[in-house]
Structure 1
């Protein structure tokens, strides 16, 4: 609790009061259980000038004078003098309490004697005052009050009136007449000469109002506030309160707190105060209210009182003490949760540096203690929640713990451990960037931290896990460059740490995976040159080096690195290398050798390439790569044009590995070798052999046919053509159509039954959508040949009786031949048109001639025979006219196509048919119009 009056009392003890200083003390009576039942009793002293002699000597003389004198006035004056001396000196001189009561009892008769005579040489106001005092001391209160009233009424301007009024009010208060007492005290306060009693009167005014019950408490509060304003007008007043005022001030605070507690608590206090005019003692009043509640066991109310002041005056210098007092109240109540919350509010309130700086030393220590306790509590809570799989609660608790640790770290001497805990809490909360920052600070910015290396390693681990994307936080995606920078920093600061070489080995592998070979080799070299690198780390790094060299095409260096890794793997230094891992290294080593062969082959060093390829089998015998290397050796021989050696290697490979996938391509390579060595028949034989097991055998057989054609083996070639055409192939494009027509044409030229292939050639060309000059020429010529054969068949048919039968056969033959010639025209165009026109015309002329020369039926008479002959002429005439028309059309082609033999033959026929028109000498001239220079 806040106890400012302890320091006040200490200052009073150190201050030496002046001899003439008056003293005023307030004591609560012992006649009640509560403040409302208690009655303050006052002893009043009057200040008078002290004599120049010892007070005790003066008192002794006046005491003797009182005893020896018989004069009432003398005795009364001696008594007054004794009272003044005692009051002024403060010494217990004169009469004992018992003697004083007896003396004043005797003095009463003197007072009454003087009053009875009606004459008195001194001041009557003083006489009334002394009589009132005498009555009071002898227990005659009513008489005392009566004298005081007389004094006030008769001598209103007497300097003794203020005290008389005070005692009248005091009497009313003692009698329980609180309203009357209030009036009396107020009248005294408002008088002009009440300075000596104003403070006492105001204090008692408040009590008078308080005694009248809750309805008058607002007035009482206003009065007590004035009392406090008078005692404590400034901030410095709190440090210089006189000892005699301590209890009065304390009682004032206490009664105000009591009234506020019974009336409405902090809100009532605030209503009694003026926020616009702060008072230096206000915080003590709120503190007293909080104390009152705490003593009564009303914890929540006590806390509310403390918080009320914080809200009422948030910038007051005592606010931290109030916040701490809230913690103490809850702690006394045994409520750990509320204690924790109060501590959290205190820590939060002074988390800013400027606010923390305003705390006193002990308060700063409290802040540090609370921060650490809260941080540890939330950290433990987060751990417990994590164990129970309460992920959200765990992350929230760890985040809160981290906040406390981070706030505490700059305000403790050794911050390393706190920062590391903050980093771990942030990590558990999923706040990875902030966790990284805390780890770094603990490692590199906390002097004297013994576990700095572990904190630095935590930062490295965090970044490494982030690079591996083990965290789901989208905001935390560190790159490999970040991890490398952190690793470099770790390696520089903690060079002797045995984790460094492993970290460098890991980075070498990572940069390899990232494709940055330069960085990968850099970190690998750090491991290979490190004295403390373990065999396992060197083993891993040699593999990284080998892979990088292999990827960069430095296969010789890669082979060296793989050999180093293999030596370590096969040594006793490594115990956990598995057979699969050894096999993998040997495969990589074989690959490096194999790649050297490839490079040599690509650079034209074919002999060296063959050597490397053949060396693979010694590294990894019987392996797939060794088989391929053997195959590539044969291919390299092909590339070197060493056909004989290549054929031998290829055939041996096929014999040794007939089921290998590469064996399927050997046949093609052998074909190539045979062709290149000018042995097409062997190449064709290889193709025909391969076709036996091929999914599309005709592809190979037709290639073989071409090779046989090249070799001049017509018989085998034609057999393949006939077998293939018998399958009924359909051309899918122009090239395929031309190839099929070529086969047919070659069969026409060299095979059996050429007319069959001519018909097939012509029909295929007519049915096709694709044509070429060759196919059209072959087809049109074949069609002419077929038409000539059909024309010969037509000519061989004689017209005999009955005419209609033979004529029908002859016309059919004519139509067959004519169609052949028309097909030839359709396929050959202008190239065959002259011959086709001639042959078609001759068909019609021959039919006309045969009709005219056909025999007349024997059963006709002469007239009928003549008529029959005329009919034949009529039938033959259109055919002859058709023949003339076709020959004439052929003749006319001279103007567009020029003269050829078939046109000449048409002219011969026309000359025969129309001698007058066509049978004449014709000389073909070329006429060149020359320019006439003279014109």
Structure 2
């Protein structure tokens, strides 16, 4: 038997005593404080060099109250035992007991994170020593587990997994096996061995060894299947569906989701939607679901797939998913919500026609009383809103079609609008208004009996309708138009008697209405005579062509013709008629016409010429439009309409992108009419034309002229500066920037801060007083509550440049005698450079941290090096010289240590941020300082314990 060192007995005795004490302490803490310790005796070996020849000695423990001792004191003793013992078994036992105390009591065991890693690195050799000797008195499965943990904490992932595999192989019944299997599968997943990971996770799921790990394993089983590619996605889908069934077994579970499960459930929905999207979309989704029963979460999955397509910009695919759910579960309570979501998707895609189709489908599906009652209050509001929007749209469409002469389209649109209005009237609180609109739509559609019925209901059947009189008057107007022949259709041919009866009802209900007197007077005349618009044209034609007509009669006929044509927007025919009327007014017998008729006719003639210009412009006929606008001046010289015609001619050229023509007309207009109110808008139009024609410098000049007369010119000047920037006129731009910044302007919001920082950055880039603008840029960014990625990057980089220059100044300072003076200057320069680098870190964060750490470390290293290299005073003897150099070393050592710490910190960033050039420089310095540790090849491994690696 191997001899044991005397200190081993001391340590072993101490360990046994503390272990016994802790066991009793824990048990007594759980029992009544009045219980006393039982008497017992421990035999220990004595007077022998080996365990075999020791003679027993008896330590008697008598019954007495348990001493009061806190867990923290026990921790302290075990901690000290671990640090002081050289025996592997004792150290491992102490470490395990420390871990158990922490797990059971939550007590801090006295190790920091870095200390704990160091402890476990040291413990690995103890584990290996124990395994080699086979001299462990505890459970080997726990030892293997602790070894795996130690390897993991020290970054030896493969060794950790190997120990876990040993644990599973050697002790399959151990309570630690489920966690070991899970971590082995996790390692395979993290290493990209997804088939192996699937096997591991499936073993845990199917064995049911541990509920906690089984749930996690099923989730990760799905991910390992997903990672194997599309061929394994059906398996993955079945797994993920089971995960959702476990988390969301019924409808109530949707309302009571555990907060810790939200991310898992969300990721599960996300990956199912992603797989379905990459296959056949909703068809694939339905194939994964059980069609014999409706899962409580199925609608959420369809919704997630629809959202996925929407985010990807696949609008039609998103809509198809919503529609697929509606077909899949037509009676589901969420069908209205899905139909509304279709509307939202088309709205985000800005496709008006599709939006209307979706709204129309929603209104139609729930238009019946049963369907409408199925909606919740919010959905009912949507139904009413959609009905009103669709009705108004169809009404406007009908109006536009009628204006363009498309009678068939106009009629269809007005019929549709009326249907929506009438459906809405049954469910709206504004019944009277809606019925009146329905009547008007029926009227425009030529459905006069239906229009009349709606007007009458609004006027006489709706209580407290404030515009009931107007609705009643609309019914009268319709009948009068019918009587006049302007409103005729099959089944609608009112006679004078019917009009009179309607008028009597109106007068009785609305006796105070001011229109009654005129209505009665009109009725009296109508009984005497009738007439219509077309007949008026016919008769006017006869007058015009008649030889016996007087000038007044001809004038009246041409005037009627011109007004009719003008009313019908036939401006060419109206111009011809007004010219004839003007000739009669100017050349006829003055006694036949009032003296102001010629002037009135010229105004009307000028108007129709102008209207022809408007129509030509609306139809894109630029040349015709400009010609008509300019002709107005020849018809009515000096008139406001003639001036407006010239202005509109220039605008027409501007809209047609005829920049040179527009610029010429605008400048001439400004020259000819300098005091006109329209001149105020010309500068902006000229700026637009200059910019659009690729002449930003001229646009800037125009803006600067505009700014000259403004009390606050800087808005215009800054626009000019932006145009000068586009034009490449850097000197003029910089002058404006400097003048603006010299005003002491302070940013009032984020955009304002970005604008000022952009100016400083551009001034700095142009090389004008570069360091001054860098100073200003950094100071403004540090003081500002608003930041943007651009301003932070600019300021961070500027601070780094200033720091580099301050570092160069620091380097240039030599350490001379007297050393205190030169060292004080050098330390001051170091602090200035260091602060610049810290400012850069504060602004640039991770983007500049590697460089800043390197540069700050080099400042300290440079100071240490300069201290060591500084000359020794010549008047010192050999002993004094040695003492002086030792003092220099003591002064330099802390700075060199700071440099090493900063370089080391930079080195450690590899695990979080990866390698970059500045970290490489730090590694180079560390290799020079510690070649045995850093000057070697290193392969970096990663340990990813997170579920769902975010690779999607």
State the TM bucket, normalised to the shorter chain.
0.3 to 0.5
Q: Report the TM-score, using the length of structure 1 for normalisation.
A: 0.46
Q: Report the TM-score, using the length of structure 2 for normalisation.
A: 0.45
- Over alpha carbons, which structure has the higher Rg? 1
